[in-house]
Amino acid sequence: MELLSGLTIAFVTGVISSFGHCLGMCGGIVAIYSARQAATAEAVGAKPGMLARAGSLLPVHAGRITTYTFLGALVGFASSLLSEMGGLVGLQGGFSILVGILMAIIALSLMGVLPSIETVLAAATRGIAPMQRMRGLFGQHSIWANILLGILWGMLPCGLVFAMLVVAAGAQSVWGGALTMLVFGLGTIPTLLGFGLAANMLSPQLRGRLQIFAGVLILLFALQTILRGLAVANLVPSLILGPVMLW
């Protein structure tokens, strides 16, 4: 049930955030890639239709989601080890509380209450390194170059991706973490695969509200995670509604 709730929050957040946060962060990458792909095709006399242009984006999205899935598997594996260690010394509840606090901080950042988490991540990862490697891959027609472009794209610092990695850590298993990030990545595809056409029909104000809504969803899941940790530590009673254990 915990994994199901994590998958649900990951997919819904991916869909909603793709109209706001993802479009703002990654819309430029999609636009540049699409423009250069079209220019390259026209240079050889081809005039690709909408389906062909959408199909050309699939490899780059496959690469991006591959990175997300791999990172999810890593944090899932790490959290499973910590969970086993925590179980031995009675710290499993504390780990859950820590994860919830991290999620709450990221949610408040997405909502604009705290400074952008991207700034911190970019400084910690020397941010532009993946982008430097991506520049030489834009406009190439090789499927492997496009997949590599997507893999590097997935490595760009992003507060929302970091938030979902925290959710993936809550799965406390390799497959649970990988599946969480896979579902999140799939949720972001509709808008980005449509070259932002759907999102461009929305006003910047509405896109901002959608980003805030995504932050609220993450914040609610963070509170649930914290309460679950407090319940494991026997500091608050567990809450069960029918077959569903909320915490």
Tokens matching residue 218 = 């993450």
Decide: 50 and 44 in contact? Cβ < 8 Å: no
Cα–Cα nearest to 167, from 220, 244, 114: 220
- What digits encode the pLDDT tens for the residues 37-60? 666 655 556 565 666 666 777 888
Count Cα atoms within 13 angstroms, Cβ side, for 159: 27
Residue 229 CA to its chain's centroid (Å)? 23
- What digits encode the pLDDT tens for the residues 96-128? 788 788 878 878 887 878 877 666 656 655 545
Tokens matching residue 85 = 């260690």
Cα–Cα distance, 59 to 69 (Å, whole number):
15
Average pLDDT, stretch 7-29? 72
Mean pLDDT, the chain, rounded, equals 74
**46 Cβ contact partners less than 8 Å away, ≥ 6 residues apart:** none
Which pLDDT band holds residue 244 (cuts at 50, 70, 90)? low
Q: Tell me, what's the pLDDT at 14?
A: 81
Lowest mean pLDDT among 31-35, 150-154, 172-176: 31-35
User: What are the φ/ψ torsions at residue 220 (nearest 5 degrees)?
Assistant: -65, -40
Lowest mean pLDDT among 52-56, 127-131, 167-171: 127-131
Strand-pair partners of 245: 240
Average pLDDT, stretch 30-43? 64
